[in-house]
């Protein structure tokens, strides 16, 4: 008999974690869309520094210099059976919500799924526009360009087919792969997920031996999609999710690549290891019933990485 899963509604009969689809996928568009046009101050991001999916949107908002265009509120990193909460210093200045589930119910009173971050909230319609990090990365990358002087383009048109292909592989084997291993409730399912994860990491290590970033000399959204998993790996996934064949710090190319991205302007401020570690080790009490947060590991992400500069 398999043990109780962390999210029972997202578990297969053989003990595999099967992530629920995103519930809200409307779009802000700069092409004259009457429903959700890009406007300064209209939209607000609800995020968690702990969540890798939300972290992606924080990064794009930072790189596109949209802080003055789209507000952002961070939820409490400790989530209980009531979901993501706005408590104490993590209060909601926009709607006064106590829980992020309030935003979901305001948008769809019949919503029954798990409440997730990120969420893009529309202050005019008082509804969620999107809770899809994939869509939000693309919206933030291009639909608010009229309000920013940033020339960053994380989804360049010539690379889009290749970006889409690599995104899919990294998502299935690495981004979601750590969760498939960590939330597995049978040995067979865990071993399969962990093996696929490290096979993918080994291939990425080889790829980065010949290029500075995943597509050469420039950073794309794919790099940031991978970054949010790599930066959490040694601190959380290696121990908490039993992804312990190797640490990222034991991969010369991946670790240099991780440090390179971490040291890009503005990125360090988007990484909050206190939130990350407390969320995983305290919230996932089926995996860590003692809720003890480990003090390690030591890792110096600000160490020089000249080996990356030469590629």
* Residues designated as active site: 51, 179
DSSP characters over 154-175: SS-GGGHHHHHHHHHHHIIIII
Residue 108 sits at φ, ψ, to 5 deg, of -145, 100
d(CA 214, CA 152): 17
Counted residue by residue, the chain has a size of 311
Burial of 77 (0-12, 13-18, 19+ CB in 10 A): buried
8 Å CB contact between 271 and 50: no
| Parallel, antiparallel or unpaired: strands 119-122 and 43-47 | antiparallel
d(CA 189, CA 131): 28
d(CA 244, CA 258): 18
d(CA 184, CA 13): 11
């Amino acid at each position: 008999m398999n043990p109780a899963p962390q999210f029972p509604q997202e578990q297969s009969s053989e003990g595999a974690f099967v992530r629920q689809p995103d519930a809200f996928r409307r779009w802000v568009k700069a092409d004259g869309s009457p429903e959700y046009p890009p406007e300064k101050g209209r939209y607000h991001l609800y995020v968690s520094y702990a969540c890798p999916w939300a972290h992606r949107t924080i990064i794009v908002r930072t790189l596109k210099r949209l802080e003055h265009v789209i507000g952002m509120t961070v939820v409490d990193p400790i989530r209980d059976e009531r979901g993501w909460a706005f408590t104490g210093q993590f209060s909601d200045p926009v709607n006064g919500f106590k829980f992020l589930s309030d935003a979901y119910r305001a948008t769809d009173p019949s919503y029954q799924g798990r409440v997730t971050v990120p969420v893009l909230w529309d202050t005019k319609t008082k509804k969620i526009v999107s809770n899809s990090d994939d869509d939000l990365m693309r919206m933030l990358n291009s639909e608010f360009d009229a309000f920013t002087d940033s020339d960053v383009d994380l989804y360049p048109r010539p690379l889009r087919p290749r970006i889409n292909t690599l995104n899919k592989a990294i998502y299935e084997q690495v981004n979601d792969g750590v969760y498939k291993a960590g939330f597995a409730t049978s040995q067979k399912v865990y071993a399969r997920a962990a093996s696929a994860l490290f096979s993918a990491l080994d291939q990425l290590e080889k790829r980065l031996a010949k290029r500075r970033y995943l597509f050469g000399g420039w950073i794309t959204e794919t790099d940031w999609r991978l970054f949010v998993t790599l930066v959490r790996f040694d601190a959380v996934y290696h121990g908490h999710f039993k992804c312990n064949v190797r640490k990222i710090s034991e991969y010369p190319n991946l670790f240099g690549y991780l440090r390179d991205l971490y040291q890009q302007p503005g990125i360090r401020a988007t990484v909050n290891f206190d939130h990350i570690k407390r969320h995983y080790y305290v919230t996932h009490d089926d995996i860590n019933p003692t809720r003890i947060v480990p003090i390690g590991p030591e890792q110096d992400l600000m160490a020089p990485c000249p080996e990356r500069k030469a590629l």
